A and B are shown apart, each in its own frame.
Chain A
Amino acid sequence: MSGAVGGTLADDSLASAGQLRLTWLRFRRHKLAYVSLFIVVLFYLVAIFADFLAINDPHAVDARRGYLPPQAVHLFDANGFNPHVDGMTGRRDLKTFRQVYVPDPNKKLPVTLFARGYPYELFGLFETDRHLLGLVTPEPLDGIYLLGTDALGRDLFSRIMVATRISLSIGLASVTLSLILGILLGGVSGLYGGLVDLFLQRVIEVIRSIPTIPLWMGIAAALPNTWSVVRVYFAITVIISLIGWTELARLALPAMIISETSLSFLGLGLRPPAISWGILLQDAQNVQVLAGAPWLLLAAVPVVIVILAFNFLGDGLRDAADPYG
C-alpha cells in the first residue's frame, strides 16, 4: 500500500491516516481526476465571477456590429509593450449584402486590466463596474470581442462567461434535488422492504424505460409563456431531477448539464433573456448561419470540457471512495 501511494509518506503516518486522508491520497493518484478537479473548480469560479470576467454587457444589442469575427489582443506594437486591439470597420459587401469587417491597423484601441465597463453587482452585494479586461477609453461601438459577436451584436465571450452561471448551477441544483429524492425513496424502500420496495423498484424500471427527451419536451413546453426566467429555471430543475433521480448509480451532474443544454437548445428549456450554453448554441443551429459565423460553435467548447472534467472527476472519486480496495 505504501509503495502504491508513493514514497512521500512514512509507513507510520499512513497506518494511522484517517479515512478522509486515505481517500484524498488515493484520489491524488488518479492524475486525470486530479486535474479535472481543478478544472471544475475553475469553472465554478468563473460562474461566481462571471460579470467580472465578462468584457461587454452580455445583453447589449447593437445590430451595427452583428456577426463580428473574433478579435485578437495584440500585446506589442512597433513601440514596444502596448496591449491593444485593432478597431474594426464594417461595410456592406455589395454582392452578398453581408456586413463584412476588416481590422483597421491604424485605429489602435488600448486595452488594460481592471478596466471600467458596464455596472454590475458582485455576489449581488457590491455595485461595481470593474472588469478584468477592458478598453482604456470605452466608446460606443468599440469593444473587445475575443470570440466575436452573434447576429444581434452581443459579445459571445461575455455571454459564455455569464452562461456558466446558469448551466453549472442548474446541474448542481438538479443533482441535489435528485439526491434528496433518491435517498428518501431509497431509504423508504430499504426500511419497509417487501411490497413497498418491490413497488419502488418497478417504478424506477418504468421511468427508466421511457425515452426521456420527448417527455421533458412535453412537460417543458407546457410551462406557461408568462412565467419569469427564475420560475422557468426552477421548473426545469424540478423536471430534470424528477426524471433523473433514477440514474443516481453514477455521477449524474454531467447528464443534468447535457439535459439542460439540449432542452434550451431546442427552445423548450430556458428562454432568452436568460443566458445558458444551450441558449447560445441555439443560435448555431443551422448550417447557413454557421458557414458565415463559425465562431458561434465555440459555445460548445466549455460544454465539452466541463462534461469531460466531471466524468473524470466522477471516475476518480469512485475509485477513491474505497481507499482500502
Chain B
Amino acid sequence: MNLSVPNIVILIVIGLLGVGTYALLTVRNLIKVVVALQIMVKAAMLALVLAGRLQGQENLGQSLALTVIVADTIVAVVGLALAVQVRRVVGTLDLSALTTLRR
C-alpha cells in the first residue's frame, strides 16, 4: 500500500471513526459524548471532501462538507444545552441516570 494522499485521508477518516465509536461505547459523561460525536463528524467531513475530489465533483463535496459543519455545530450546541439542563435537573452528567422514561 503506497501512502498517496487519498490513502492517508481515508486512514484519518477510518481512524477518527474508530476512536469515536470506541468513545461512544465506553464514555458515560454527557459532555464527553458530545466530544465523541464531534470527532466522528470530522471524519464525515473529510470523507465528503475526499469523495468529491475522487469523483471530480470537488465543489459538490465541499458544499456538502459545509452543510456538515453547520449541522455539527448545531449538534454541539443542542447537545451541550441538554447536558447543562440534565446537570441542573438530575444533578449529574452520568448517562445511566437518564433512564426515567423507562418507568
Check if A and B associate: no
Q: Which residues of B contact A (CB under 8 A)?
A: none
A residues engaging B (CB < 8 A)? none
